[in-house]
Structure 1
Amino acid sequence: MFYGTSKVLQLAGPDAYASSLQQRLLNAFRVLEANRTIMFGDATFLSEKIPDSTASITELMIQTSAFSKRLFEQIEGVPEEERPFSPTITALAYEGTELDCKISNWCNSVSLQPDSADPFAQIALAKYHAIRLFHCRNFTYYTCWHPGTIPQLDQMEIDGCVAAITYLCEKVLQSSNIPGAILLFPLRMAGAHSHFEWQRDEVRNLLNQIHKSGFVVAKRIQIDLLEFWEFQDDQDNIEPGV
C-alpha cells in the first residue's frame, strides 16, 4: 500500500509539488482507497468527515520526521570528541525542546478525550503519543547532551504512552472501518517501548489483527519488533561493568 502510494505521488507529476505534502498524501490515499472500495464493495472511511485534529497531527508527524533526519545527520557530522562543546549540538537540543513543546501544546489545544467515540480522534491521540515516544527516544542514542537541555520522558510517562496507544488502537480496530495500516506507526513505537511481556502481547495481538485484515506489512513489523525485543532482553541481562 505504501509503495503504491509513492507511485501515485510520482504519477501526480511536478504540478502536484506546488501543494502541501499533506494534501498530496491525502489525494494519493483517496485514489487508492476509492479503487479498493469499488473493486471489493467495502465501506470506506473517506465518506466520513475528517476533523482538523487529523490534519494537524499529520503535520506534526512530518515536522518531527524532518527534524529527526537532520538530528542524526548533523550529529554525525561533528567529531565525537567535539560534540559536548559544539554549537550545532546546542542548537539541536534547543530546537528539539521547542518541537517537544509544540507536540505537547497540540494535545492541549485540540481537547480530545481518550474515551471519545470518534475513531479519527482516537487515531490522532495514538499518533500524538507515538510522536512523543519517537521524538524523545532519538535523543537517547547520544551522550553529548548537557543535563536538562533535551526532551525526556521518565519510565512512568513512557508506560503511559504505550498503554494509551494500545488502548486507542484497539478501539479503532473494533469500532471503525478505517484501514489498520494507519495504526502501524503508533504500534511500532508502542512495541519499541514495551519492556513487559504483557505489553508486548497487546502490541502483537493488534498487529495480528491488522495483518489478518489484509495488510501484510504488519507481519514485517512484528518480525522487526521480535528481533528488537530479543536484543533488548540480551542487553538487560548483561551485568553492569561486564
Structure 2
Amino acid sequence: MRRHAGPLDKRKKVTRCQSCSKRRIKCEGGFPCEYCTRTKKQCHPPGPSSRRIEFVLVNSSTRPDYQTLGSPALIPRPDDSLYLDYFALFVGRCQFARGFATLCSDLLPLISTSRPLKDLAMAIGALEASRRGSLHTYRGSDSPQVASFGFYGRSIEAFQKQIQTSQGIEREDVLWVTLFLGIYDLMSENFGDGWANHMSYGISRILHAMKPVDDPSPLRMTLLDAFQTLEANRAIIYGDGSSLVQKCWSSHLSGPNTQPPSTMHSIIQLMLEVSGFNQRFFEGIESIASDDRPLHPFISELAVDGCRLHEKLESWYIETATQRDESDPYSKLALAIYHALVLFLSGNYGYYSCWEGQRLVCILSGNKSGKKSWVSLGVFSDKGSMSLREYKVICSNAGIIKTPTFHFFG
C-alpha cells in the first residue's frame, strides 16, 4: 500500500507508472514519463490501490511455546554448584605450587563437609563471576559481587566459632580456610594488608597450635608448599621476618627425605634468608647515627654477611644448573627469582653511602690459600661507578684467584 508523504515532507510526490513499477526502476513522474518516452512504450498511470481485506488463518499447533524459552545468562538465583564452578576456574589459574591448580577434585570432599570452607569457596567463585561479567541476575536479586560479600561474612562467622574450640583447630579445613581468606582479601582489597595478616599471623598461629603430623597427606603438603611461596613473597615485599624459619614450621613438614630439594624449594629458602637479612640490615643501620656509620663495626659486619649471602646465591646458581629444565615453568620462575634476589641484595647497599671508599674483609671461597682478600666495596672511577667487568679486571690484577661478582653499586 502506497504511503503518503507527511505535511513537512519537502520531497516531490512521485508515483511510478505501471511500466516502471514492473521493471522496478525509479520513475521520473509526469505523463508520459521519461523512461516510457525514451523506450517508446505506452505509459499507463498506476492502478487503483487494492482495498480488499485478507484474513490469515494461523495454525496454533505449530506456534512455539514462549514460556519454555529463556535467556541462559539470566537466572533468578545462582545455585551453589554454579559459584563452585567459578571457584574451580579461579583455582585452575593459581600456580602457587606444583599441583595447586589441579587440587579442586581433591578439595571437594573437604568443601562438602566444612561449612566455612564451602561458604568461602562460593565467595571466591561469586567474586570471580562478577569480574568475568558473564553472569547476570534478575532485578531484585543480589548481584554476584553482593552475594560474594554475604558468603564471606557467613564464612568468617562460622570459622570464628570453629577455632574457639580445641577440637575445631585440629581440623583439616582450618589451614585451607585461612589460606583462602588471605587470597580473598588479596582479590577484593587494593593494598593486600588483609592478605599479609592472614599469612603472617593467621597461619603461623594455627601452626603453633596444631600438632605435627608424622605423615602429611598430599593435600596438606600442597597447601604447605603454597603457603611457603606466598609467605616468602610477603616477607620480602613487606621487609618483615617470617615464621617459616621457626621450628614450628619444620615440624609440620614430612620426615627425613633423601631426595635433594627442588630448585623452587631451595630458592624459596634463599628468599627467606635474604628477607631476614634485609630486615636486620635496615633496622641496624637506622639505629646508628649517620656520622658514626662509616667506622661502626656493625657496618663492616653487614658487608661481610652480604658477601656470604651472595656467595650462597652464586652457589645455588652453579649447583642447580643441571637440575633446571628450560621447558619447566617452575624452573624458569626459580631462575627469575635468583636474578631478582641478586639485584635486590645489591640495591640495599646502594641505598646508603656509608660503604663508599672503605676497604672491608670479604672471605672468598675460591681462594685456595685460605687467606682473606681485601676488596673495596665502594669502587668508583672519575666517571662514576664502575661496571662489573671493570671491577673484575681490577680484582684479577690484584691477584685474587676468584674474583667476586657481588657489587654494591647499581
Shorter-chain TM-score: which interval? 0.3 to 0.5
Q: In terms of Rg, which structure is larger?
A: 2
Of structures 1 and 2, the one scoring higher in RCO (CA 8 A, sep 6+) is 1
Q: Provide the TM-score with structure 2 as the length reference.
A: 0.29
**More helix per residue: 1 or 2?**
1
